Chains A and B, each alone.
Chain A
Amino acid sequence: MTDINPKVDPSQVLEIEQITLEGMDISGHWNRMFEQRVIFDYDLTTMDRIIDLPGGESFGWCYQCSQCIAVCPVDHVGSYGPRKLYRDVQVGANLFDHPDLWLCTTCANCLRVCPKEVNMLEIMPAVRAEAVLAGDVPAELQDVFEKTARYGNPLGQNPKRRMAWTRGLDVEVPVIADLGRKVDVLWWVSDYPSYHPRGIEASKSLARILHHLEVDFAVLGAEERHDGDSMLRAGEQGLFEMLAEQNIAALNTYEFDVLLTTDPHAYNAFLHEYPQRGGSYPVVHYTQFLADKIEAMGLSEDLGSKITFHDPCYLGRHNGEYEAPRDLIRALPGTEFVEMWRIRENGYCCGGGGGGMWLDGHAAGHQRMRLSEKRVLEAVESGADTLCVACPYEVSRFEDAVKSTNNDGRLAVLDIAELLASAMGLPTG
C-alpha cells in the first residue's frame, strides 16, 4: 500500500528499532505522533472506537493539513474527505451510523498525497464492517448484499444464466470444465460483463479479439461468482470471505497459466486479497495482456475519433498501471488521443468503487452531482468525442451521466475492447 504514496522512500527512513522513554513507546516510523494531541472538551469515544479497530489506527494520525481535500473526488461535488471526517468525529459525529460513512469510493487519491498515510482503504471498510454487523446499511446497498449472497452477483441475476451472453455468438467461448484440460488463459469475465447489456457488448468484442489472436482460453462459466472486492470495501467482510472461498475452490480445480481479468476490481482482489486465502494465481488485466500484442491484432480500420481515457482507480492508482491502456489507444488508427486534466495518479473517480456502484440513491442526497457526471463534463471539456474506459462499472455510469448532463450525441462511451475490435474490423454487437 505504501506504493501509492510516493512521498515516503523507505530506504531513506532512519528508524530506531525499539525505544521506550518514560514508559512511553516511541519506536517506529519517522512521522508518527508520539502521543495523540490532547484535545479538551471533546468526547473522543467515537475517535477511540475507530482507532481501536484493526485497520482503523491511521485515522488518528491526521493533522488536518487538507492535502486530501484537494484531491478527494467527492469533495469536488460536495463536502467530504478524510480531514473533514476526522474533524466531524472529533466534535461528536458517530461515523458508525452516519450518511458520510457511505460516500467514500475508496479511490485512494487521499492516501497518495497524505503525509501521515491516513489510509481510508483500511479505515472505511473497518468502520463499515461494524455498521454492517449492527445492521446500519443504506437500503439499496442492503439489497445488493442480499442479492450477491443469494445469486453470486450484485445484479440479482439467475446464476445459471451467466453464460447466456455467449448464446448465438459468432465465436466460441469454451467453459473450462467442458474442455477438461489445462488452458493458457482463464478469462475471469465478471458480473456486469456477463449480465449488463453494455458489458456484454464489451465481452463479445474481447471474445472476438482473443479468437483473432488465437489465444488458448476458457471461462469458468456458471461457477464464476462476484470477486467480492467491492463487498469487502463496502463492509461485508463475511460476504467477501464466502465468495472468495467459493471462487478459490472452483479455481483450484483447474489448471491454467494466467488469470485474465476484465474488471480491475477483480484484478485487485486476485492480487491482494485472494493469495492469503489460498488462491494464488498469476493475474493480468486485459489491457496489459493486449498491450504487447498490438502488432498481432492488426489494427487497420480508421476510427476517426478523438479519444480520451479514464484511468480506472483500481487499475491505475491502486495498482500502478497507466501505460498499457494508453499504448492500446495510441495504436488505434485514424484517432487523436487527448488527455483530460485529472489523469494517471491524479485521475478522477467514476464513483463506482467501494460500493458506490450501488449507493447512487444515497449519494444523491449528499452531492451536487454524481462523480460520473463531473467526469463526463471533464471529458467533454477535453474536446474528445469518445470517452474510453477499461472497467465494467464505468460504461453504464458514464452513459447515464452523458444523458443526465445533456451531452447525448456529443460523447460516446466505449470500452477499450470495443474500440480495438472496431479497429480490427471485427463485427460489433
Chain B
Amino acid sequence: MNIAVLMRPVPDPVEELEISPDGADLDRDYLGYVVNEFDEHALEEGLLIKEQVGGTITVLAPGSADEIDDILYTALAKGADRAVKLGTDVGPLSAHALARLFTDALSDIDFDLVLTGVQAADELDGQVSVLVASMLRLPHISVVTATEPIAAGVRVTKEFWAGITADYEVTLPAVLGVQAARQAPRYVAISRIRQAQQGEGLVEADAVPPERGSVRITAVRLPEAEDGAEMLGGDAEAAAERIIEILRAAGVVQGG
C-alpha cells in the first residue's frame, strides 16, 4: 500500500505563548515549533501498515518553520521512504491554505491512502484531513484509532465518545484523520536521525503559498482565569492543608 503522510508543525506547548505587539497573533519571533502530535500518530499507523503489507511511505510537510527539516529526517529515520518539504518560508498557513498546498503536491504522488492527524491545536479554519479529502473528492473518516489493511482496502476504527467506537470498511484511495495509532509513536535513535541527515531521502519541492483565506483573526489574548479559580500559595505542605479543608467543606472528607 502506498501511503502519503501529511505532517505539520505547531507551536511548542513548552513555550509560554506571548501575544504580538499588534495583538492580532502570537509573537512568532521566538516561537519554537514541534511536530503536531497527531501527525506522529498518523506516521506510526502508516509504519505499522507498511510492516504488515509492504509499500512505500512518502511524508509531506510545509516549509513553514525551521524545525521542519528535523521533523522530516525523524520520519525518514523511523522508516518513511521519502520526505518532501513543500516550499521554503511559506509562513504560518491557514488550514485551507495548507490543505491546498498538500493537494497540489499529492497530484504528483501515487498513493492509496493519505494519513494525517485528525486536528492541530492552531487549525482555526477547519481540519486539514477532511479539507484535503473534500478537495480531492476522496472518502474520509476522522478520529481514527486503529486501521487494518484488508483485501478491499482498509478497515478503520472511529472513536465517538463515552468509549464508544465503530468499525468501517473503506475502499481506496481514501483519507484518514488519525487520533491515535495502535501503539505509541516509536522511538528512533538520534544516530539514525543523523544518518538520515546524511542521506538523500529529503527532497524540496516548489510550492506556491496560497492566498489568504476568508477568515481573519482580529485579536488574540491569553484567557484570564475565570472568577472561580482561587490560587493557593505556599509550599506543598501548606497547600495540602488547605486542600483538605476544602474537601471537608465539600463534604468529601469527614470533619474534625
Find out whether the CB atom of B184 lies under 8 angstroms from the CB atom of A150. no
From 113 to 149 in chain A, residues with beta carbon under 8 angstroms from any chain B beta carbon are 129, 132-133, 135, 137, 139, 142, 145-146, 149
Q: How large is the interface on B (under 10, 10 to 19, 20 to 34, 35 or more residues)?
A: 10 to 19
A295 to B184, CA, bound (A): 57
A156 to B34, CA, bound (A): 13
Is A158 in contact with chain B by the CB < 8 A criterion? yes
From 17 to 61 in chain B, residues with beta carbon under 8 angstroms from any chain A beta carbon are 30, 34
Find out whether the CB atom of B34 lies under 8 angstroms from the CB atom of A150. yes
Is B14 in contact with chain A by the CB < 8 A criterion? yes
Find out whether the CB atom of A139 lies under 8 angstroms from the CB atom of B184. yes
A384-395 to B contact mask, C-beta < 8 Å, 1/0: 000000000000
Is A236 in contact with chain B by the CB < 8 A criterion? yes
Find out whether the CB atom of B15 lies under 8 angstroms from the CB atom of A146. no
Is A237 in contact with chain B by the CB < 8 A criterion? yes
Stretch of A5-13, A81-89, A238-246 lying at the B interface: A238-246
A156 to B15, CA, bound (A): 11
Q: Which chain B residues lie closer than 8 Å to A158 at the CB level?
A: 14-16
From 182 to 198 in chain B, residues with beta carbon under 8 angstroms from any chain A beta carbon are 184, 186-194
A103 to B164, CA, bound (A): 40
Q: Which chain A residues lie closer than 8 Å to B194 at the CB level?
A: 238, 241-242
Find out whether the CB atom of A239 lies under 8 angstroms from the CB atom of B187. no
Is A322 in contact with chain B by the CB < 8 A criterion? no
Is A37 in contact with chain B by the CB < 8 A criterion? no
Closest A residue by C-beta to B78: A135
Given the contacts A151-B14, A160-B30, A135 and B188 also touching, CB distance less than 8 Å: yes
Q: How large is the interface on A (under 10, 10 to 19, 20 to 34, 35 or more residues)?
A: 20 to 34
From 242 to 265 in chain A, residues with beta carbon under 8 angstroms from any chain B beta carbon are 242
Closest A residue by C-beta to B187: A142
Q: Which chain B residues lie closer than 8 Å to A135 at the CB level?
A: 186-189
Q: Which chain B residues lie closer than 8 Å to A238 at the CB level?
A: 189-194
A124 to B34, CA, bound (A): 32
Q: Which chain B residues lie closer than 8 Å to A139 at the CB level?
A: 184
Given the contacts A156-B14, A158-B15, A160-B30, A133 and B189 also touching, CB distance less than 8 Å: yes
Closest B residue by C-beta to A148: B190
Find out whether the CB atom of A241 lies under 8 angstroms from the CB atom of B14. no
A129 to B192, CA, bound (A): 12
Find out whether the CB atom of B190 lies under 8 angstroms from the CB atom of A149. yes
Q: Which of B15, B16, B34, B188 has the most CB of A within 10 A?
A: B188
A227-243 to B contact mask, C-beta < 8 Å, 1/0: 00000000011110110
5 contacts between A and B (CB under 8 A): A133-B191, A135-B187, A145-B190, A151-B14, A237-B189
Residues of B within 8 A of A (CB): 14-16, 30, 34, 184, 186-194
Add 18 more A-B contacts to A133-B192, A158-B16, A236-B190 (CB < 8 A). Answer: A129-B189, A133-B191, A135-B186, A135-B187, A135-B189, A142-B187, A145-B187, A150-B34, A158-B14, A158-B15, A160-B30, A237-B189, A237-B190, A238-B189, A238-B190, A239-B190, A241-B191, A242-B194
Please give me the 8 A-B residue pairs with the lowest Cβ-Cβ distance, nearest first: A238-B191, A238-B190, A239-B190, A142-B187, A132-B189, A135-B187, A135-B186, A133-B189
